[in-house]
Amino acid sequence: MGEEVAALRRELRGLIADHVPADFLGAFTDDPADLATAQAFCRTLAERGLLCMAWPTEWGGRDASLWEQTALREEMWAHHEPRGAQYMGVNWVGPTILRHGTPAQQQLHLPTISSGAAIWCQGFSEPDSGSDLASLRMAAVRDGDGWRVTGQKIWTSYATMAQWCFLLARTSTGERKQQGLTIFLVPMSREGIEVRPIANMLGPHHLNEVFFDDVWVTPDEVLGRLDEGWSVVQEVLAFERVGIARYARCERLLAWAPGALGDEWDSVPAELRSRWARMLVHARRARLLAYRVVDLQGQGRVRPGDAAAYRIAVTRLDQESASVLMEIAGRLRGRDENARRFVRAVEDHWRYAQASTVASGSIEMQRILLSRSLLAAP
């Protein structure tokens, strides 16, 4: 990627070393200090124009290249995402508002995202509309110059801490279920919104139910065209699925393994070391697939099939590498500080990997999207 990107990586690693504890495993733990670390680190990045560096300078960015933003994404995810929940606003909420928002919406939302002040959640999935998102039933019913929204969302990450919700609701019906959907930018403080956490092994803040009871939304809170939200959602999902550089964490943990085991590495069976090496190859493959999607985004040609191909590869990598790493970690007998940190990081990676086949769209749906794109190709 060139010397500029290499220098950026050095800068980011230095900031992480200076501002993030060595045993940090993400913002969403039972320890409130971890969330505080993430929020403080976001402010540190924002002060240097690094939090949203690919954004225009007028909105708090650096007009950086997509490749610099990709390097930032990789370094963050490799080090257990010290930006916390901000990646959602940075990676796709903000860019979507840049592309489709009104000047007033841009003025309201972009500065708070680029400064690290606002946390967003995504109101997409419903109890009976997860993988088949277009079948959602949450209704936004006309009431004067606005709408009343009633229904339930589920699996809503960060809803307990978010100030804003990127909400998808049905405003009309059409011949196809993808018609009649509208995006609203709704404050989570609005009367009628209730959040109920769902206990899970990933820890607090990850999974929640969100109930909307006759919630008032205004015309100013509509993003894009009324009833035409599905085309925007397609963009959002493509950005979201490539926006998390899962391969970077896999590659870092795999590269860490020999050093964590030290002399014990020589006793690792040849078959297990062969699988370890294969996972390194698969990490590079997922990286290259991600780069292809980034390149297409830079050309304004975001294709669901390309994002799906990447998503399939990185999901399989996530789970297969977690299995290999758990076997390697299980062989550790000496437990110095480096080894203990390695084992904790691997266990954390394994827990998250279990959910990767359904997060951001199930792997089965990704295969369907890829198949459709291949069959439709000239």
DSSP-derived 3-state class of residue 151 = strand
Give the three-state DSSP class for 120. Answer: strand
Report pLDDT digits (tens) over 67-118: 898 899 999 999 999 998 887 888 889 989 999 999 999 999 999 999 999 9
Indicate yes or no: pTM above 0.75: yes
Which own/partner pairs from 199-206 qualify as long-range (CB within 8 Å, at least 24 positions apart)? 201/351, 201/354, 202/28, 202/351, 202/352, 202/355, 203/26, 203/28, 203/29, 203/30, 204/28, 204/29, 204/30, 204/160, 205/27, 205/28, 205/85, 205/157, 205/158, 205/160, 205/161, 206/28, 206/157, 206/158
pLDDT at 241: 54
At 293 the pLDDT is 85
Q: What is the pLDDT of residue 303?
A: 72
Residue 144 · residue 187 · CB < 8 Å: no
Question: Of the ranges 38-42, 158-162, 183-187, 333-337, which one carries the lowest mean pLDDT score?
Answer: 333-337
Mean pLDDT computed over every residue of the chain: 90
Residue ranges per structural domain of the chain: 3-118, 122-227, 245-376
Would you say 120 and 164 are in contact if contact means Cβ atoms under 8 Å apart? yes
User: Looking at domain 122-227, which of 3.40.50.300, 2.40.50.100, 2.40.110.10, 3.10.20.30 is its CATH number?
Assistant: 2.40.110.10
Which runs of E-coded beta strand occur in the chain?
120-123, 139-143, 146-154, 164-170, 181-187, 193-197, 208-217, 222-223
Backbone angles phi, psi at 303, to 5 degrees: -115, 125
181: β partners: 170, 228
Lowest mean pLDDT among 174-178, 206-210, 246-250, 332-336: 332-336
Helix-helix angle 229-243:304-329, to 10 degrees: 30
Q: Taking residues 3-20, what's their average pLDDT?
A: 95
Q: Where does 245-376 sit in CATH, by number?
A: 1.20.140.10
Which of 184-188, 199-203, 297-301 reaches the highest mean pLDDT? 184-188
Q: What is the pLDDT of residues 135-170, one digit of tens each?
A: 899 999 999 999 999 999 998 989 998 999 999 999
pLDDT at 40: 94
Tell me the pLDDT tens digit for each residue of 18-73.
999 999 998 888 888 998 999 999 999 999 999 998 889 999 888 888 889 889 99
CATH of 3-118, one of 3.30.70.20, 3.40.225.10, 1.10.287.3510, 1.10.540.10: 1.10.540.10
Q: Closest Cα partner for 224 from 193, 263, 258, 181?
A: 181
